[in-house]
Amino acid sequence: MPTITIFKDDLESLLTSEGGVARGIPMAQLEDWLMLVKGELKGHNPETGELRIELQDSNRPDLWCCEGIARQIRIKQQGRLKPYPFFDKTPTSPHHLIVKPGMEQVRPYVAACTAKGYRVTEKGLAQLIQTQEKLADIFGRKRKTVSIGIYQLRNITFPVTYELVKPDEVRFTPLGMETAMTLSEILMVHPKGLEYGPILAVQSLLPILRDAKAQPLSFPPIINSREIGEVRVGDDELFVEVTGTDLRMVILSLNIFAANLADRGAIIEPVEVRYPTSTVLGTRVKTPQDFGKPATIQMKAIEQALGQELGEVMVKQALEAYGYDVSAEKGSVKAKLPPYRHDLMHTMDVVEDVAMSRGYAEFTPVMPAQFTVGGLSPIEQLSDRSRELMVGLGFQEIISNILGSPDQYCRAMRLEGTEWGRTVEVDNVMSLSFSCLRQWMLPSLLRIEAASSRAFYPHRLFEAGDVAIPDGIHELGSRTETMIGALIAHATTHFSEIHSCLDVLCYYLGKDYSLEPLQHPSFLEGRAGRILVSGKPVGVIGEVHPEVLERWQISMPVVAFDLNLSKLMGLG
């Protein structure tokens, strides 16, 4: 879900169709239009005209830019997409890009085009760079599968070659540096080399783009040459290339870039890429290229999914107004995505586009009519009854994080290295305070007690909730169980006070229990018990050990019990 920054006047000028002028579009209107692109306005600076927009659809990289947003709105207003000529054209220009053997081992694919006649403006340049970054970062998975370079065309002599070189064979001055460096120096020193170098980590030969005069254009996917690969405001002839590991993603990225530049007034000339061996699109691949295929979609599928009869004509209209190329047949439509999109995985993707193009407000909600019986799970019912009883016993319910620290759940409880001290631990710890799951309730209750010595006494607290108990036999390595824990703290509390509460709870839950003496590090010896129901252990009760209280910095006697409701189910 990328968030991009665009300028309102830039968007407005891209919305302007031939002759028409769009200025001062009301923000409410703009927000309505943003529904077409699943965009959410995150910020608006009325002084600079800056808009921050979050684009929700991670499968629509064409929308992650000002040009793409404007295009989707424009199509809706004009009823259809005005075709881009360069997708059909066979290359008339002599521009070739030659892929040398060996690239398939490293970064096999490349696509490129030229753009002339658009003089780069300051805002336009900022958008070019933003699109380049968002595409490479999110769609290209941090340049792993796709990365993009833009160059001044006038400095390049064709044909350009895409080939492998030894790490110290070629030197050039990369962007952001003053002096020429070898590729291995770039990997070791340049910030981009350090950041993206790992993509190429195990390669003994490294990829490079060079022109016919052997001038390096760039070291993909790391960095461009400073001499050729730095575009400035005022440039009006550009060369754009995309390299990557997936041919379709590479071409799609170039298609998006080409459409964007064309929308800003550039004339796009395709480049023919010549591979040494055949790709899925042949050995000579003209880019940009519309490689999409039309799909036939049954009207029944669309109408059933939308719950509404629309008819072929209306569906055709809706899809055209969303950029599709559509022909209606009887009972079905044949629909093809525009060349800058490649996100059609399933009929339902088309269905959503129909709904969006028409507007969600066009669909009248209907209540689902079928009868179903509602209810709570047995464990939730037991938990709720226990909570009611604890409230009746005068206990205040509390609620806690389940993710905590070993310090809290084990060390402070004197449980390190004991059977009770095993917890489910997190591997990628961000903060020790949130590094393991609680295995019982008492630490959660003591957390509140430790923070509340000023709240008037007595304290009677309880919590019902989930814990995770490590279990080597369970397929998930642990069992999630629901427990209820209760605590009493005041100057004269003692075992029998909490015992009475447990007694009442078990009585009304209909569980016949008994206690057997228990040695447990968290409780005082001789004042702790294991709770048994039908001979099975279901919990512990006792006076909390003074050393535990010291570790929590609690200076009030505490008695408590912990009862496993999941284990209690079906017993006694």
Partner 1 sequence: MDISTLIDSLHPLEIKVLTTLGLRPSGTALGSEQLADAAELEASQLSMAVEWLLAKSLITVQTETVTPIVSLTKIGEEYHQTASPIERVLAAAREATSTGKRLTIPDLQSQGGLDPSDVSKAVGRLKKEGVVLIIQGGCIETTGRPSPTAEALRPLLGEMHDSPKELKSFTEAHRQVIEDFAVKRGNAKEPFRVDERVARSFILSPDGAGAAAQLLTQGVAEEVSQLTPDLLKDGSWRQTRLRKYTISLRPPRIGTGKKHPYREFLDTVKTKLVSMGFQEMRGALVETEFWDMDALFMPQFHPARDIHDVYFIKEPSHTTAVDEPFLSRVAKVHENGAETGSTGWGYSFDVHRAKRLVLRSQGTAVSARTLAASPQIPGKYFSIARCFRYDQVDATHATDFFQVEGIVLGEDINFRTLLGLLNLFAREVAQAKDVKFLPAYFPFTEPSVEMHVRHPRLGWMELGGAGLFRSEVTLPLGVTVPVIAWGLGLDRMAMVALGIHDIRELFTDNLELIRTTRGLF
> In the range 59-98, which residues lie near partner 1 by CB under 8 A?
59
Residue 416 binding partner 1, by CB under 8 A: no
Looking at beta carbons only, is 302 or 415 nearer to partner 1? 302
Looking at beta carbons only, is 268 or 467 nearer to partner 1? 467
Chain positions 340 to 399 lying near partner 1, rule: CB under 8 A, are 344-349, 351-352, 355-356, 360-361, 363-377, 379-380, 384, 387, 390-399
Q: Which of 223, 326, 410, 448 binds partner 1 (CB under 8 A)?
A: 448
Sign of the alpha-carbon torsion through 254, 260, 266, 268:
positive
Please provide the size of the chain in residues: 572
Question: What type of residue sits at position 363?
Answer: F
Q: What is the DSSP string of 62-108?
A: GGSSHHHHHHHHHHHHHSSPPPPGGGTPPP-S--EEEEPTTGGGT--
Going by their DSSP bridges, the two strands 282-287 and 295-298 should be labelled as: unpaired
CB of 215 to partner 1, least distance (A): 35
Q: H or E stretch including 120?
A: none
Looking at beta carbons only, is 217 or 297 nearer to partner 1? 297
Q: Which of 402, 532, 556, 569 binds partner 1 (CB under 8 A)?
A: 402
Chain positions 472 to 491 lying near partner 1, rule: CB under 8 A, are 472, 475-480
Looking at beta carbons only, is 226 or 422 nearer to partner 1? 422
Binding footprint of partner 1, residue count (CB under 8 A): 93
Q: Which of 424, 540, 559, 565 binds partner 1 (CB under 8 A)?
A: 424
CA distance 36 to 353: 9
Q: Is cis: bond before 288, omega within 30 of 0?
A: yes
CB of 257 to partner 1, least distance (A): 22
Residue 425 binding partner 1, by CB under 8 A: yes
Q: Give one word for 522, left, alpha or beta, with left for phi > 0 and alpha for psi -120 to 50.
A: alpha
Options 154-162, 200-208, 273-281, 460-468: segment touching partner 1 (CB under 8 A): 460-468
Residue 559 binding partner 1, by CB under 8 A: no
Give the x-and-dash track for 32-61 against partner 1 (CB under 8 A): ---xx-x-----------------xxxx--
Q: Which of 25, 98, 125, 138 binds partner 1 (CB under 8 A)?
A: 138
Output phi, psi for 199, to 5 deg.
-60, -35
Sequence-ordered list of residues with C-beta below 8 angstroms from that of 500, at least 6 positions apart, any chain: none
Chain positions 283 to 302 lying near partner 1, rule: CB under 8 A, are none
Q: Which of 245, 234, 254, 344 is nearest to 294 (CA)?
A: 344
CB of 553 to partner 1, least distance (A): 13
CB of 366 to partner 1, least distance (A): 4
Q: Which of 62, 148, 82 is nearest to 113 (CA)?
A: 148
CB of 530 to partner 1, least distance (A): 25
Q: Which of 91, 434, 557, 569 binds partner 1 (CB under 8 A)?
A: 434
Residue with tokens 């209907």: 366
Chain positions 152 to 211 lying near partner 1, rule: CB under 8 A, are none
Distances from the Cα of 129 to the Cα of 58, 148, 191, 260, angstroms: 19, 10, 18, 12
Angle at 10 between CA 4 and CA 13, to 5 degrees: 140
Looking at beta carbons only, is 92 or 377 nearer to partner 1? 377
CB of 192 to partner 1, least distance (A): 20
Sequence-ordered list of residues with C-beta below 8 angstroms from that of 448, at least 6 positions apart, any chain: 398, 400, 461
CB of 568 to partner 1, least distance (A): 15
CB of 322 to partner 1, least distance (A): 11
* DSSP bridge pairs for 434: none
Q: Which of 549, 513, 555, 554 is nearest to 530 (CA)?
A: 513
CB of 497 to partner 1, least distance (A): 14
Residue 26 binding partner 1, by CB under 8 A: no
Chain positions 1 to 20 lying near partner 1, rule: CB under 8 A, are 1
CA distance 453 to 75: 66
Q: What is the DSSP letter of 435?
A: S
Looking at beta carbons only, is 88 or 507 nearer to partner 1? 507
Distances from the Cα of 473 to the Cα of 70, 436, 469, 476, angstroms: 57, 20, 11, 9
Looking at beta carbons only, is 95 or 143 nearer to partner 1? 143
Question: What type of residue sits at position 185?
Answer: E
Q: Which of 109, 308, 120 is nearest to 209 (CA)?
A: 109
Looking at beta carbons only, is 214 or 491 nearer to partner 1? 491
Looking at beta carbons only, is 202 or 361 nearer to partner 1? 361
Give the x-and-dash track for 241-280 against partner 1 (CB under 8 A): ----------------------------------------
CB of 310 to partner 1, least distance (A): 11
Question: What type of residue sits at position 144?
Answer: K
Q: What is the largest CA-CA distance in the chain?
A: 96
Looking at beta carbons only, is 367 or 491 nearer to partner 1? 367
Chain positions 201 to 220 lying near partner 1, rule: CB under 8 A, are none
Looking at beta carbons only, is 204 or 364 nearer to partner 1? 364
